[in-house]
Amino acid sequence: MIHILNKENTILNKFLAQIRDRVVQRDSMRFRRNIERIGEVMAYEISRALDYKTQIVETPLGEAAVEMISDKVVIATILRAGLPLHQGFLNYYDDAESAFVSAYRKSSKDGSFKVKVEYISNCKLEGKTLILVDPMLATGTSLVLAYEALIAKGGEPEHTHIASVIASEQGIDYATRHLPARSTTLWVGAVDAELTSRSYIVPGIGDAGDLAFGEKL
């Protein structure tokens, strides 16, 4: 199942507009905060798809029945660009476990590249709900490799939610073909149609990691 959030009127569109704006996005602190706020909005939307159970809370004047999330949530992200989005999710799922994957593009002289996974830090995933967050879903290759690396070490989760701020049509197609259809839900802020020869999304936003943390060598 795929949810494209900007198809409806939502405050998310304000944050999407600001991270796209070539002037506004130059303020790295504001860029990080907007990505974080997008994570908070997406965390709320995903929360409506989780399982709940009733808990009794004692107040100063009595007892109240409250529906609480029963899923054991693990939030995973791809370093380094995913860190602000990861924080946005942690702001809402403050008792969730976290996992991290280091992935990078290894370029060749002909301009092509392969995605390499170097570092994985995660917990057991079996029986849990995995929320894998990545700001940009371009080709989908790094996302699928990160997912495969996580489950190879932690086991298969009960369900996986993929959350990306902006995706390409190609990336969505690749992800849906390579992730388990029955146990994966894709949540996207917006979908753009084009990829450049270097696999940047157009109109996109540019390089999310560089905008958040400065240009890398």
Please give the tally of structural domains in the chain: 1
- The CATH number of residue 76's host domain is 3.40.50.2020
Give the DSSP letter of residue 184: E
**Which sign, positive or negative, has the C-alpha torsion 189, 89, 43, 172?**
positive
155: closest CA among 95, 72, 43, 70? 72
Angstrom distance (rounded) from CA 81 to CA 84: 7
Calculate what percentage of the chain has a pLDDT beyond 70: 95
Helices (H) and strands (E) in the chain, counts: 6, 12
C-alpha angle 92-72-58 in degrees, rounded to nearest 5: 70
Confidence of residue 111 (pLDDT cuts 50, 70, 90): low
Confidence of residue 107 (pLDDT cuts 50, 70, 90): low
Whole domain around residue 209: which residue ranges?
2-213
More confident site: 49 or 112: 49
Cβ of 199: how many Cβ atoms within 10 Å?
A: 19
Confidence of residue 118 (pLDDT cuts 50, 70, 90): confident
Output the pLDDT for position 48.
96
Output the pLDDT for position 116.
77
